[in-house]
Amino acid sequence: MIDVHNLSKSFGDNLVLDGITTRIQKGEVVVIIGPSGSGKSTFLRCLNLLELPSGGSVLFDGTDITNPKTDINAIRRKMGMVFQHFNLFPNMTVERNITLAPVQTGLMKQHEADEKAMALLRRVGLADRADSYPSQLSGGQKQRIAIVRALCMDPEVLLFDEPTSALDPEMVGEVLDVMKDLARDGMTMVVVTHEMGFAREVGSRVLFMDGGKILEENEPQAFFANPREERTRSFLSKVL
């Protein structure tokens, strides 16, 4: 579904991604872990071109998204993104946050989007907050709404950029539960996170990044039980 080939990204002289090659299959839950500054978030943001790669290619369903001629808006409609700081639109109600994009991109009529939004809100247990504004919600609620907002576009893949890092510890669980639920339904997900428990339980593959490279990748049981690289071992010993 997503083919990444020799992807590199530098900010000025600072090389953040150094030749990343990987493939994300339909239905996979790929969990990316690694120390801060290792390029995890940059990698994720290159997948939907929020960052413009300096080199290499990203193919989504066979289309090279780094090609300037590609309609990136059409690609992004199929790739939802959930941010660390939620980035809900504070000037709109929850319902309008969710329905704005599907309606404005012509995907749905307003009433269809409204119905879908309500169905999704019920699924994450927030149907009663449809008319609230983001400032009236807790962090965990905001992030669940942000996930619903991305889901309402019927994306083929969801990108999560440290979705629980800005949350109070108490609220991490409710967001992870929603993500687990999505994974069980077969949603393709790429998740940058520090939640090792989530990686172990839900991930179908774990990527360990350091210094802009993928140092090690494996299925979670093997990854956590027998890390091959010394760097991976020292990282895991600190976080586990």
Name the residues that contact other proteins, by CB under 8 A.
Answer: 48, 50, 52, 54, 68, 73-81, 83, 85, 87-92, 100-101, 104-105, 133-136, 149-150, 153
Toward other proteins, which CB reaches closer, 29 or 101? 101
Q: Please measure the distance between the N-terminal and C-terminal CA atoms of the chain and give it in whole angstroms.
A: 32
Kindly write down the DSSP assignment for every residue of 166-179, as one continuous string: TS-HHHHHHHHHHH
Toward other proteins, which CB reaches closer, 95 or 210? 95
Cα 42 → chain centroid: 12
**Smallest separation, CB 166 to other proteins (Å):** 11
Separation of alpha carbons 188 and 176, rounded Å: 15
Spatial CA neighbour of 191 closest among 16, 23, 28, 20: 28
**Smallest separation, CB 88 to other proteins (Å):** 8
Toward other proteins, which CB reaches closer, 19 or 55? 55
**Smallest separation, CB 74 to other proteins (Å):** 7
Per DSSP bridges, beta strands 29-33 and 79-82 are unpaired
The C-alpha R_g of the chain, in whole angstroms, comes to: 18
Toward other proteins, which CB reaches closer, 77 or 116? 77
